[in-house]
Structure 1
Amino acid sequence: MVLPARVPDLSALDVVVSVARGGSMSAAGREQNLSQQAISARVHSVERELGIVLFRRSPSGTELTAEGVAVLEWASGLLDAAERFSAGVDSLLGSKRASLAVAASMTVAEYLIPRWALTLRRTHPDTRIRVQPMNSADVTKEVLSGSVDVGFIEGPETDSHLEALTVARDELVVVTRPDHPWARRGTPISTAELRTTPLVQREPGSGTRVTFESALGEVTDPLLELNSVAAVKAAVLSSDSPAVLSSLSVAQELGDGRLTRIRVEDVSMPRDLRAIWPRGTALRGPARDLVSLAAQDPPPSFEPEGQA
């Protein structure tokens, strides 16, 4: 059997169907959890491969050409056949395929993923969800290697080989125990003082560390480097050392008075928390649903101008 030469990638064909169904690139982007630019690139790649113009673009939306109508019908049949194939293989493998592997930065893994995972289990009760907490740099490596289905990172940058969707926001805050001199001062500390004070810090490669150093520039070496949010909090609570942590991770301690937020002159450190997956692919099944519900489930609010 000679394999056909003009069969585009199935994920790209799925994007074509989404554009036709939604009537616009932006609607398809929302359905596929992809940027409008990524949707447009996939459509163009299918058109180049087939040598056919599928859509007419106009200010009012996107319409199929006559050739596009025929391609849409064939593509829908092909995707249906692929879905039946996948379902058949799943039925042969049984529960061995009912799993979702997620790599997540520490803040997301500890304070957001549990709620998202419990919600996901209501719609996918037979899916085993395996979450691997790690820093954002390692999450990126796991996603690029294909070891996990989807990742969640913190920090200001995303690898160019990945698709990314912002699902939540938080802010980094400076915290100390209430008896620390900064807390008793009652006025903001200077940026210079924060830069030159050794802090309890997350390890290099963590989203928290990258965001802090991007906001402050050159800073003094940490007093102590630790690999988890819980360890950093424990160090601050048991010493007189300050730290920089996510507003999500210290909400409880700030609320019950065990920690105090310290204001810093002319510095704010908000950041996006993003889902990532390989560029050129579309999320499917539980991975797609996890990212969708994460984007629709805002985390607890934080106060950007907290008091010392």
Structure 2
Amino acid sequence: MLAHRVPDLGALELLLAVARLGSLGGAARELGITQPAASSRIRSMERQLGLALVDRSPRGSRLTDTGALVTDWARRVVEAAEEFDAGAQALRDRRDSRLRVAASMTIAEYLLPRWLIALRAERPDTAVSLLAGNSAAVAERLLSGEADLGFVEGLAVPAGLDATVIGHDRLIVVTAPSHPWARRRRPLTAEELSSTPLILREEGSGTRQVLDAALGGLARPLIELSSTTAVKAAAVSGAGPSVLSELAVGEELSARRLVRIPLEGVRLARELRAVWPTGHLPVGPARDLLGLTRSA
């Protein structure tokens, strides 16, 4: 293989420094290594090539005629490597200049803002765009290349994506204080909840998936809305009961605009996940944002 016959770039850079400075010690100092280390590297390169490259004497080091020819080749290799490195850096800079995030509604509205503020402090030059939608839409955007990193709340990892759990959430039953359920003396049963028309998110949302699976089916929705904020507003207005993320209703519960209804016989916990296309680990700003979710 070519790699076994061609010296590494560090050795070639050392040879160029010796040619320029006429001194192995000066070349070692310029590259920040010891003179014995520099001598050892030159000897290794000579053994690898089967050629004598440098004559050493008390007056200094000079290239052999063969060494001068090899140095010309080395200069072209190093210049090509520098051009390669500059091009790769330009690609990294372009990648790092933007981050496209897709997130399901609860995460987008109640968790991502603080993570993005923290990312802004670390990467002030990265422009971030956020696409909010249900968990199914997040998967579609990642698989189509429209997003770099996604966040979902559903029961399982969507096909074609890898994931890591970044948090946990719980769904709770809520109503306006005027609703008859607010005056109940005993917890609501799973059967009562499943048979009651509710204000719900649309099909494909993580909230709807978890609720449907936990109850084994749902009554026809009273109202079906496409955002957590809209569902919450409808519940506050007294339109009917709903099941929402505990993350989303803290303020409304504290202000008594909504009332939590105890529920027995069913567990409505769920995992929150970061997701990305299978086999493509997040890099650059996406990797940094993922790290912030884990340290939150």
- Do the aligned partners of 2:174 and 2:243 also contact (CA within 8 Å) in 1? yes
**Partner SS for 1:211:** helix
Report the equivalent of 2:120. Answer: 121
> 1:274-303, CA deviations, whole angstroms, 9 ceiling, x for partnerless residues?
000011112111100101111221xxxxxx
Report the equivalent of 1:175. Answer: 174
- Do the aligned partners of 2:201 and 2:226 also contact (CA within 8 Å) in 1? yes
Report the equivalent of 1:249. Answer: 248
TM-score by length of 1: 0.67
> Structure 1's 137 and 177: CA in aligned 2 closer, same or farther, altered over 3 A?
same
> Structure 1's 90 and 165: CA in aligned 2 closer, same or farther, altered over 3 A?
closer
One-letter code aligned to 2:268? M
Report the equivalent of 1:149. Answer: 148
**Partner SS for 1:214:** helix
Report the equivalent of 2:268. Answer: 269
> 1:189-239, CA deviations, whole angstroms, 9 ceiling, x for partnerless residues?
121111111000000000000010010012210011000011101111112
> Structure 1's 257 and 293: CA in aligned 2 closer, same or farther, altered over 3 A?
same
Does 1:134 find its partner at 2:133?
yes
Q: Which among 87, 90, 97 is matched to residue 88 of structure 1?
A: 90
Larger radius of gyration: 2
CA distance in 1 between partners of 2:92 and 2:267 (Å): 48
Any runs of at least 4 consecutive aligned residues in structure 1 with deviations exceeding 3 A, and if so which?
80-85
**Partner SS for 2:220:** coil
CA distance in 2 between partners of 1:83 and 1:255 (Å): 56
State the Cα distance separating 1:89 from its structure 2 match: 3.5
Report the equivalent of 2:214. Answer: 215
**Partner SS for 2:264:** coil
- Do the aligned partners of 2:179 and 2:238 also contact (CA within 8 Å) in 1? no
- Do the aligned partners of 1:167 and 1:274 also contact (CA within 8 Å) in 2? yes
State the Cα distance separating 1:263 from its structure 2 match: 1.1
- 1:53-92 equivalences under 5 Å are 85-89=87-91
> Structure 1's 83 and 136: CA in aligned 2 closer, same or farther, altered over 3 A?
farther
Uncovered stretches (5+) of structure 1, i.e. residues with no partner: 5-79, 298-308
- 1:3-18 equivalences under 5 Å are none
CA distance in 1 between partners of 2:225 and 2:145 (Å): 27
**Partner SS for 1:275:** strand
- Do the aligned partners of 1:167 and 1:296 also contact (CA within 8 Å) in 2? no
CA distance in 2 between partners of 1:230 and 1:219 (Å): 21
> Structure 1's 137 and 186: CA in aligned 2 closer, same or farther, altered over 3 A?
same
Moved more, 231-240 or 145-154: 231-240
> 1:16-47, CA deviations, whole angstroms, 9 ceiling, x for partnerless residues?
xxxxxxxxxxxxxxxxxxxxxxxxxxxxxxxx
One-letter code aligned to 1:287? A
**Partner SS for 1:245:** strand
**Between Structure 1 and Structure 2, how many residues are aligned?**
217
Report the equivalent of 2:110. Answer: 111
> Structure 1's 83 and 253: CA in aligned 2 closer, same or farther, altered over 3 A?
farther
> Structure 1's 233 and 82: CA in aligned 2 closer, same or farther, altered over 3 A?
farther
One-letter code aligned to 2:145? G
Report the equivalent of 1:159. Answer: 158
Report the equivalent of 1:205. Answer: 204
One-letter code aligned to 2:132? P
CA distance in 1 between partners of 2:169 and 2:188 (Å): 21
**Partner SS for 1:175:** strand
Uncovered stretches (5+) of structure 2, i.e. residues with no partner: 4-81
State the Cα distance separating 1:160 from its structure 2 match: 3.6
**Partner SS for 1:87:** helix
- Do the aligned partners of 2:96 and 2:285 also contact (CA within 8 Å) in 1? no
CA distance in 2 between partners of 1:150 and 1:211 (Å): 22
CA distance in 1 between partners of 2:277 and 2:83 (Å): 24
CA RMSD of aligned residues (A): 2.1
Does 1:296 find its partner at 2:295?
yes
TM-score by length of 2: 0.69
State the Cα distance separating 1:117 from its structure 2 match: 0.2
One-letter code aligned to 1:237? V
